[in-house]
Amino acid sequence: MVKLKEEPKLEFSLDMKSGVPFYKQIIFQVEMAIADGRLEQGAQLPTVRSLAVDLSINPNTVARAYAEMEIRNIVVTQQGSGTFISDKKVTLDAIERERILSQITKEYLTKASSYGFTLAEIQQIIEDIGAEAQKKEGTV
């Protein structure tokens, strides 16, 4: 019996309040998953229909994201087989990495502040969690 390699499952999510079009959010999530190694060359993406159902959006939105990624050579579509990650290397330059980190941090601070946490409390918990992570990695 041949055991097939299980493809990593990428969990897509959309931020309804960000103002960023849904198709761009899908593209960004695929690019990030490729850049950080969660998606490798040849990995199959969900079908347009299944992703649209999972995200509760119009299938045309998913199709637009897939078409844009195909134009940018991020994915290849094989008629009847599906959409797969191409062999193009996706890397993030320093400016893009900083922009992403800034966006994540702003969202985190906004949410934490909405629960009444002070900047000092937020900084302390980040330091505590960072110290725990370093201990687990043995980098302390």
pLDDT, tens digit, for every residue of 37-95? 889 999 999 999 999 999 999 999 999 999 999 998 999 999 889 999 998 776 667 77
Which domain CATH number covers 48? 1.10.10.10
Please indicate, yes or no, if residue 27 is contained in any of the structural domains.
yes
Asked whether residue 34 falls in the same domain as residue 63, the answer is yes
Is residue 7 assigned to a domain?
Answer: no
Radius of gyration for the chain, computed over Cα atoms and rounded to the nearest angstrom: 18
Phi, psi of 84 (to 5 degrees): -130, 150
Domain count for the chain: 2
Q: Quick check: 6 pLDDT over 50?
A: no
Q: Which pTM does this prediction carry?
A: 0.64
Residue 101 lies in a domain: yes
The verdict on residue 45 lying in a domain is yes
Residue 6 within any structural domain of the chain: no
Span 9-31, average pLDDT? 88
Neighbouring C-alpha atoms within 13 Å toward the C-beta of 16: 3
Domain extent, residue 79, equals 22-85
